Amino acid sequence: MSRIGKKPVPVPGGVTAAVDGQEIKVKGPKGELSHVLVDQVIAKLGDDGIEIGMVEDTKEARAMWGMSRTLVANLVTGVTDGFSKTLEISGVGYRAAVQGQTLQLQLGFSHDVNYEVPKDIDVKCPKPTEIVVSGIDKQKVGQVAAEIRRYRPPEPYKGKGVKYAGEYIFRKEGKKK
Centroid of chain to Cα 78: 10
Shared domain for 9 and 44, answered yes or no, is yes
Shared domain for 62 and 132, answered yes or no, is no
DSSP for 15-72, written as a single string: -EEEEETTEEEEEETTEEEEEEPPTTEEEEE-SSSEEEEESS--HHHHHHHHHHHHHH
Q: What is the pLDDT of residues 6-38, one digit of tens each?
A: 899 999 989 999 999 899 999 999 999 999 999
pTM here? 0.89
Shared domain for 51 and 107, answered yes or no, is no
Q: Is the pLDDT of residue 75 over 70?
A: yes
Q: What is the pLDDT of residues 125-163, one digit of tens each?
A: 999 999 999 999 999 999 999 999 999 999 999 999 999
Domain boundary among 45, 80, 115: 80
Range of the domain at 52: 3-80
Number of domains in the chain: 2
39 within 8 A of 55, measured Cβ to Cβ? yes
Shared domain for 26 and 74, answered yes or no, is yes
H-helix or E-strand spanning residue 145: helix 138-150
102 within 8 A of 116, measured Cβ to Cβ? yes
> What value does the mean pLDDT of the chain take?
93
Shared domain for 135 and 87, answered yes or no, is yes
